[in-house]
Amino acid sequence: MSIIQKILNSRSEDDGNFFLFLKKILGFQPKDLHYYHKAFIHRSTNKKDDQGNPINYERLEFLGDAMLSAVISDYLFREVPSGDEGYLTKMRSKVVSREHLNELGRDFGLIAYLESKIPKKNFGDNVHGNMFEALVGAVFLDRGYTYCKKFIDKKVIKPYVDIQKLEGKIISYKSLLIEWSQKEKKAFNFQVYEDTGKDTIKHFAVKLSLDGKIIAKARATSKKKAEERAAKRAYFALQEKIKINS
């Protein structure tokens, strides 16, 4: 009898489905489902162990973030021998950007197995990336560094890391515009205010000014997102000037 059949026969139907789901994503057989179950538990469940410690994916998320950083740092260090510390740090940030991790978690459909007291439709995009990091942490605890490195290499580096494309990728339009405005000695200002629209979820609106002139507006569910969205619109409005002067 194969190990998969033994697991499917000895566990509940839910565990069996979860095992097969993990095996498909990981590309290898998980040994201890305990770690992976924890990677899919949201803090809203308020679960605790016998010692009163919280049971949720947040600690695994912390561990997975560190493992991603280490494996990708090692890859970039070897792949780009001419890159200095600043270059390598910037490139690593592009690979492990919140946007990219959210995309990975969403593509794998991790939220389908999320255990939470909050309706899944109410979660923002970041839950996908958080769960992906937690999954990486679970792989490390279950199978060790070698398997964790192989998983990151197969699921993150090979399909997504293209050095030349990453060099041209902008990860923060706000940072780019602030840097450009300081270089060009232009006054750069965000005016953020609470949006009084009819949305059920509170929104924030932003007016972005350059030398006292409003050049972009945006709204989003957080101040940070609204500012980044406005900065992106401003970047495309000023793109030719930025290219000429950069």
The domain locations on the chain are: 3-167, 173-245
pTM (2 d.p.): 0.68
- Note the pLDDT tens digit of each residue in 145-202: 999 999 999 999 988 887 777 766 666 777 777 778 888 888 888 888 776 666 667 7
Residue 20 and residue 76: Cα distance in Å, rounded? 33
Q: At what angle do helices 126-152 and 98-107 cross, to 10 degrees?
A: 80
CATH 1.10.1520.10 for domain 3-167: yes
Mean pLDDT of the residues in the chain: 84
Q: 191-239: per-residue pLDDT in tens?
A: 887 766 666 677 888 888 888 888 888 888 888 888 878 888 887 777 7
Sheet order of strands, 203-210 included? 188-195, 203-210, 213-220
**Which option is the CATH number for 173-245: 1.10.10.60, 3.30.160.20, 3.20.190.10, 3.40.50.261?**
3.30.160.20
Pairing mode, strands 203-210 and 188-195 = antiparallel
Mean pLDDT value of segment 108-135:
93
Give me the amino acid identity at 57. Answer: Y
Tell me the CA end-to-end span of the chain in Å, nearest whole number.
Answer: 65
Which of the residues are catalytic?
A: 65, 133
SS (H, E, C) 173-213: HHHHHHHHHHHCCCCEEEEEEEECCCCCCCEEEEEEEECCE
- Give CA separation, 77 vs 149, 155, 163, in Å: 15, 19, 12
